[in-house]
Structure 1
Amino acid sequence: MAPGERRAAIVAATLPLVRQHGVEVTTRQIAEAAGVAEGTLFRVFPDKDSLVQAAVAEAFDPAPTLRELAAIDRSLPLRDRLTEAVVVLQRRLSEVFGLLHALGWAGPPDRMRQPPSSGINDGFRAAVVDIVGPDAHALRVPAAELAHVLRLLAFSGTHPMIADGRPLDAPQIVAILLDGLLAPTTATTARTTTAETKDPRC
């Protein structure tokens, strides 16, 4: 196995153990999961902390999530596309929150925090805008604004403390995003009234 492949395999075997055991995970457990001798670990990583940090960095890598978003079937109705997007985002968020909890961290370490200029948030926003695609004309706000609100709702609706033990699922988040919280008849009346007010014939 090439060195890069061996490193990736060890990291992949380590991440589930870190989720389960946090920093208490042992190199013996990691070696058994990776199917290698303990000594092999230290030929790839200088110490256990470096290996754990590599696994955490892998968990924060946005590339797999962006690939999942890109793979969503664009022929589905808008609501279904957005629901699938939220499922993907919530899965990533749940994994990250669970990992931070297992490690006893309130947030990612400074070396893994991404500055606003990093472009990662822009990547997620662009992915959702692309999912909206030709249906953007049906929105009352730009697709980028919808993407921003969707991420906020997904984050707050998934975070166990922010959600106060009552997390929102993907269909709920999309319903709030597209329909709001007014009763359907009230919402319809409000939209109709607004449209009539703006009608130059009135």
Structure 2
Amino acid sequence: MRTRATAMSADDRRRALVDVTLPLLLEHGRTVTTRQIAEAAGVAEGTIFRVFESKDDLVQATLDRAFDIEPFLEDLRRIDPDQPLRALVTEMVTLLQSRFRGIFTLMTAVGMVGPPKGRSHEHHPREEAARVMADLLAPHADEVRVPVAQLVHVTRLLTFSGSHPHLSDGRILTAEEIVSTVLDGLLTKGD
């Protein structure tokens, strides 16, 4: 006998359904069924349609959550700005790689070739992330020979391309390789 789903507000139910849908999208892509989602959530299929008009609306809400930059910004803001430059940049790169890899994996799973609708021209979140990183690095400005904004730009570009399985030809760079390249360059000593 099936038990009734725990009573939740509509917002809480939407959040709970999005939570269980993300791993299912990673596993099944867009072929995930509402039955699989309902089973993972421990609810009847009809419960989904009390808070989402369609499976597509649930999938879109899940993609919107995955692409939301706020949790990433919160993680950046938790970085200790008083640590040595190399440790600081390594921590930033590690967070960037985690975000990029998660998004790349999800995009591949659902067959996306670009950001979700409405986000393709959205520059504010990237600018905010760049500003937070620049603020973290500002106390170390005298340790680098380029402006902090340039350090952030190069670090983000190398991390993006070095973390993408296709752009990196399947040779994903480690955070340490990225940081070493950005901070030390590739010349041998004395060149």
Same fold (TM over 0.5): yes
RMSD: 1.3
Counterpart for residue 128 of structure 2: 123
Tell me the CA shift for residue 75 of structure 1.
2.7
| Map 1:108-187 → 2, pairs under 5 A | 108-115=115-122, 118-186=123-191
How does 1:1-202 map onto structure 2 within 5 Å?
1-115=8-122, 118-186=123-191
Alpha-carbon distance in 2 for matches of 1:61, 1:125: 15
The ranges of structure 1 where at least 4 consecutive aligned residues each deviate by more than 6 angstroms after the TM superposition are: none
- Assess if the C-alpha contact under 8 Å between 1:13 and 1:30 holds in 2: yes
Query: TM-score with structure 1 length normalisation?
Result: 0.87
Cα deviation, 1:70-101, whole Å, max 9, x if unaligned, reads: 11122321111110111111111101111111
Deviations 1:114-144 (A, max 9, x none): 33xx311211111211221311121111111
> Which stretch of the first structure deviates more once superposed, 58-67 or 103-112?
103-112
Determine which structure has more spread, i.e. the larger CA radius of gyration.
Answer: 1
Question: What residue identity is the alignment partner of 1:100?
Answer: M
2-side partners of 1:51 and 1:184: how far apart? 55
Deviation at 1:184, TM superposition (A): 2.6
Deviation at residue 108 of structure 1 after TM alignment: 2.1
CA distance in 1, matches of 2:109, 2:119: 17
Contact kept? 1:27, 1:38, Cα under 8 Å = yes
State how far apart, in whole Å, the 2-side matches of 1:46 and 1:2 are: 16
Gaps of 5+ in 1: 187-202
TM-score normalised according to structure 2 size: 0.91
For residues 22-50 of structure 1, what are the alpha-carbon distances to aligned partners after superposition, in whole Å with 9 as ceiling and x for unaligned? 00111111112222221110000011111
> Structure 2: which 5+ runs fail to align?
1-7
Instruction: Select between 91-100 and 73-82 the one with higher mean Cα deviation.
Output: 73-82
